A and B are shown apart, each in its own frame.
Chain A
């Protein structure tokens, strides 16, 4: 019994070694696998950003008094706006938008200061280009907050007996950095891509090359083939997780609030569920192209669009929310956000944990059942 176990271990080790040869000798793919997280982090970190800075602003100041000057000063000081144009007529407002000269126009009516003092009420018009609604909404929010701030500074000077001040605190992401949302997303995406896609392709390649035929007509246990294939990709997945965490901590200033080892352990769990998903795909695909296509359609798109990485799950129609629930990355991203950003412990992610473990067992069970010990 001990001898047969030893032989099995030897077979297994040799098989893993062979897999490493395959991966290490395909330099280009290896480079791609290791560089992909870095590239994605750079793209999401610097190129794609939810923050909109340095917007050109046009001001139509009909009042030209003390109060209007103060407000314009406040806009000048903000990092979100640059005052690019001063305009002097109503016709020019539309021209500003038509010629793409300004993203936002503020109109301060005449007698602004005197109205404010006399009636305690004055209006400012903010006009935005809503052909891009997301940007317009953000800009209006920025502008409103600048004006509100000015208003509260006035209120402090005047002695008005009752006032309610709202004090907003952005928890877990006080500076509203977009890195907080995309780092967990990129982790989910990368691990899904590398672990699931590469495993499925690696197994299908053996079928395509005809080597599976020889492997099957050998004393090798088919389950060993599968596990041995997954091991190198597991390792690459772990390296990717470490790369992403290092980049986000050192390059983007995003701290790991929770336990680092818990974060790593959950990532490993997710890698294993991705590997089992890849295995499942490999039992269905007969060629590498098909495996790739299934991986892209079934794994990558839902992971990008439905996992809450880019679009919030709560806003989706019910049907898409259900689908989102069966995307493993959804659960992983929830866990990562909880551990990495909120600093929560295992006690608050056990439910997501259970779901992922359940999915993994399901994928593994189905693929072992489907794994063919013969050719057809």
Chain B
């Protein structure tokens, strides 16, 4: 049996006037000791799925289980065994680092000493500040403390809802290293993130958009499944170039990606020279460079988005 099993879950939020479908017939499964990433933009339904799996919300339709326990019937069992770190910093700001940790250890029926091994690597980084109030910690420190608190009862499954949002790049990297080492200790981790670059660090990922799962696979497979040749285009006035590219009848997709525009063509036999030829005739002063590149996770995401 898979550690997390989601079967045709739907959830609609009703307001006075309209109803928003947050999750639309979602199914997925997470294997034991896997880091499973839920990748998608804000409002895609990531948090809703987390809340259903952590028994905080009830799904309208479908069923789900965590560690063999049904999220509706056996919610008490799930609450004993999972660790959950919500997207918003959810510790007590007026309690010190130490007091927060001690509090969460006690309400999870354990002690800090009992499971200290598990959090040792993370806790030693914030230990110098253990008498500081949680509200006065930096963003990265807060996340580390929250992770410690979510881990203190040695959960079998760890749910992390956007743990790295608003955290600096160095802390983000450290955070993912911690997740890898937790995985080695036998914890199944489900993590959501809006950052595509973090997708590569997961064992498997699910793309989620407007409540629908677009694809579930390993990051490598997802990149390999990218069906088209991908070109990167650069020039002086990037906006003008993007507009011209979209006018080009042979172009299938074109998106701004950092310093370059990523372009696919309708006919994969065509070469980069054809794009260059078209652009230089249309915009002679723009100093156009075109090259073929390897697609990344984000390109795949855009492709799935277009297909759906």
Task: Determine the chain B residues whose CB is within 8 A of the CB of A11 once the complex forms.
Answer: 106-107, 109
A211 partner residues in chain B, CB cutoff 8 A: 90-92
Of A25, A216, A375, the contact of B94 (CB 8 Å cutoff): A25
Chain B hits for A15, CB < 8 A: 103, 107
* CB–CB A219/B106 < 8 A: no
Interchain CA distance A22-B91 in the complex, whole Å:
12
Known: A7-B109, A374-B58, A375-B51. A213 touches B90 (CB 8 A): yes
Does B108 interact with chain A (Cβ within 8 Å)?
A: yes
CA of A26 to CA of B150, assembled, Å: 26
Name the residue on B nearest A15 (C-beta): B107
Contact of A210 among B54, B57, B90, B94 (CB under 8 A): B90
A22 to B94, CA, bound (A): 7
Q: Give how many A residues have a beta carbon under 8 Å from the other chain's beta carbons.
A: 25
Q: Say whether B56 contacts A213, CB under 8 Å.
A: yes
Q: Is the CB of B39 closer than 8 A to any CB of chain A?
A: no
CB distance from B86 to the nearest CB of A (A): 5
Is A14 an interface position by the 8 A CB rule?
A: yes
Closest to B106 in A: A14
Interface assignment of B290: CB less than 8 Å from any CB of chain A: no
Report A-chain residues with C-beta under 8 Å of the C-beta of B92: 18, 21-22, 209, 211
Contact A217 B79 (CB under 8 A): yes
Tell me how many residues of B have a C-beta within 8 Å of chain A: 31
Contact indicator A213/B106 (Cβ below 8 Å): no
B residues near A375, Cβ cutoff 8 Å? 51, 56-57
Given A7-B109, A219-B80, A376-B57, A214-B90 contact (CB < 8 Å): yes
**Given the complex, which residues of A lie within 8 Å of B82, measured CB to CB?**
217
Tell me the minimal C-beta distance from A90 to chain B in angstroms.
70
CB–CB A217/B84 < 8 A: yes
Question: Are A210 and B86 in contact, with the CB atoms below 8 A?
Answer: yes
Name B's A-contacting residues (CB within 8 A): 51, 54-58, 75-76, 79-80, 82, 84, 86, 88-95, 99, 102-104, 106-109, 149-150
Other than the given A22-B92, A219-B80, A219-B107, 9 more pairs (CB < 8 A) read A18-B103, A209-B90, A210-B90, A211-B91, A214-B86, A216-B79, A217-B54, A218-B108, A220-B107
B55 touches A217 (CB 8 A): yes
- Tell me if A296 is interfacial: C-beta within 8 Å of chain B: no
The residue in chain B whose Cβ has the minimal distance to the Cβ of A14 is: B106
Within the assembled complex, what's the spacing in Å between the Cα atoms of A46 and B107? Answer: 49
Contact yes or no, A210 B89, CB < 8 A: yes
Which label, helix, strand, loop or mixed, suits the secondary structure of the A interface?
A: helix
Of residues 1 to 31 in A, which have CB atoms within 8 Å of B's CB atoms? Answer: 7, 10-11, 14-15, 18, 21-22, 25-26
7 closest cross-chain pairs (CB), A and B? A14-B106, A210-B90, A210-B88, A217-B84, A375-B56, A219-B80, A217-B54
Chain A to chain B contacts (Cβ below 8 Å), 20 pairs: A11-B109, A14-B102, A18-B95, A21-B92, A210-B86, A211-B91, A211-B92, A213-B84, A213-B86, A213-B90, A214-B86, A214-B104, A214-B150, A216-B55, A217-B79, A218-B79, A218-B107, A219-B109, A373-B75, A376-B58
| CB-defined contacts of B88 to chain A, threshold 8 Å | 210
- Which residues from B are CB-within-8-Å of A214? 84, 86, 90-91, 104, 149-150
Instruction: Give, as a whole number of angstroms, the nearest-CB distance from B192 to chain A.
Output: 15
**Interchain nearest-CB distance for A63 vs B (Å):** 76
Across the interface, which residues of A come within 8 angstroms of B80, CB to CB? 219
Which positions 213-240 of chain A face chain B at CB distance < 8 Å?
Answer: 213-220
Q: Which residues of B contact A209 (CB under 8 A)?
A: 90, 92-93
Digit string of A172-215 for contact with B (CB within 8 Å is 1, else 0)? 00000000000000000000000000000000000001110111
